Structure 1
Amino acid sequence: MKLPDHEQRELEEIERRLAEDDPKFAAKLNRPAPRVPRRTLVLGGVLAFYVAGLVVVMAGVSVGSVVLIGLGAAMVLAVFGWFAVRAWRAHQDQD
């Protein structure tokens, strides 16, 4: 979103004064945000899928639905299967 000219000038003036007053802090603000490693994102997604499976199991138990319980259990077991496949592939790569 484009700022009006007078607001853009005010913002630039604030940035200039900040850089003069505290150059270290201004340098920190200009640095790009650190990236989250892909491995962390994948493990977070797997953990979220596991928790979702547990929630589906609990919903199935509270409703009394065998289908929901089975679906949630399959989700939870899929996480363990994912870890097993990853470990097996890592072991195969080492040989």
Structure 2
Amino acid sequence: MGLPEDEQRELDAIEQRLAEDDPKFAAKLVRTPSPHHRLPRRVLKLIGLLLIYVVGLVVVITGVSLSSIVVIALGAAVTAFSPVAIVVQTWRTRGNDEPSG
């Protein structure tokens, strides 16, 4: 549902005045958002979770190739505990987002 013609003309006039008064600001408003700003928050969290998991696996593989128990343990901890921490944090904040009623 569009705006009535008179309101659309008013908005166009405001936009034109803004472009004349502050062209840099007007250009920022017209610019399309970067792709990661268009993704839903859940998708960004899932991507972050997968990246942390992959980093942990790479650290484990590096530890195996170096025969270092400390590096293997560090990679295992990152792989195991970081995703759990993110899921727990998401679960806790999810309860705050739901409307009470």
TM-score (norm 1): 0.53
**How far did 1:86 drift?**
3.3
Which of the numbers 73, 76, 80 marks the counterpart of 2:76?
Answer: 73
Distance in structure 1 (CA, Å) of the matches to 2:94 and 2:32: 37
Percent of pairs with identical residues: 44
The Cα shift of 1:92 comes to 5.8
Bigger mean CA deviation after superposition, 77-86 or 45-54: 77-86
Runs of 4+ aligned residues of structure 1 deviating over 4 Å after TM superposition are 90-94
Q: Flag structure 2 segments of 5+ consecutive residues without an equivalent.
A: 1-29
Q: Structure 1: how far apart are the matches of 2:54 and 2:47? A: 11
Q: What are structure 1's unaligned runs of at least 5 residues? A: 1-29
Specify the code of the residue in structure 1 equivalent to 2:44.
L
> Closer, same or farther in 2 for the Cα pair 1:41/1:85, shift >3 Å?
closer
Is the alpha carbon distance of 1:90 and 1:61 closer, same or farther for their aligned partners in structure 2, counting shifts above 3 Å? same
Q: CA deviation at 1:32?
A: 2.8
Task: In structure 2, give the amino acid aligned to 1:83.
Answer: V
2:89 is the counterpart of 1:82: no
Q: CA deviation at 1:31?
A: 8.0
Give 1:42's match in structure 2, choosing from 38, 42, 45: 45
Aligned pair in 2 of structure 1 residues 49, 70: CA closer, same or farther (>3 Å)?
same
- 1:41-83 per-position Cα deviation (integer Å, ceiling 9, x unaligned): 1221111011000000011011100111010011011213432
Aligned equivalent of 2:57: 54
